[in-house]
Amino acid sequence: MNFKIILTNVWNKIRLYLSLLLFVFYLIIGILFLFTETWGEIIPKGRGIIGLVLVLFGILRFLVAYRRYTNKHKHIKSQSSIKKNKKKEEQKNAKAEIE
């Protein structure tokens, strides 16, 4: 079975903003690991690697979400333009049939 779900523009924007929020969260936590002694007692070694991984993961996650948003946005625009063109053609055909 193939299920096709067409997301609306509003939902795409919400997903993009949530991804931006997660990017900021990962960035803040990564910076805390890299440049502060916040978790110094709990994790004495490897904080730099963990911080770097968190920052890079946040960046990667945001880039993937941004590409998904732009692709969905283009798809929705193309689908709406196709529907508009079909309606125009149907109206022209209806006018031609009446005449």
Asked if residue 47 belongs to a domain, the reply is: yes
Domain annotation covers residue 25: yes
The parent domain of residue 62 ranges over 9-98
More confident residue, 24 or 40: 24
> Is there a domain that residue 3 lies in?
no
Total number of domains in the chain:
1
Classify residue 46 by its DSSP letter.
Answer: S
Tell me the mean pLDDT in the region 62-85. 77
> What's the rounded Cα separation, in Å, for the pair 99 and 94?
9
31-65 pLDDT, tens digit each: 888 888 877 777 778 888 988 999 999 999 888 88
Least confident stretch, 14-28, 42-56, 80-94: 80-94
Q: Judge whether 18 lies within some domain.
A: yes
* 81 confidence band (pLDDT: 50, 70, 90): confident
Is the residue at 1 inside a domain?
A: no
Q: What distance lies between CA 79 and its chain's CA centroid? A: 19
Query: Looking at the domain assignment, is residue 82 inside a domain?
Result: yes
In a domain, 35, yes or no: yes
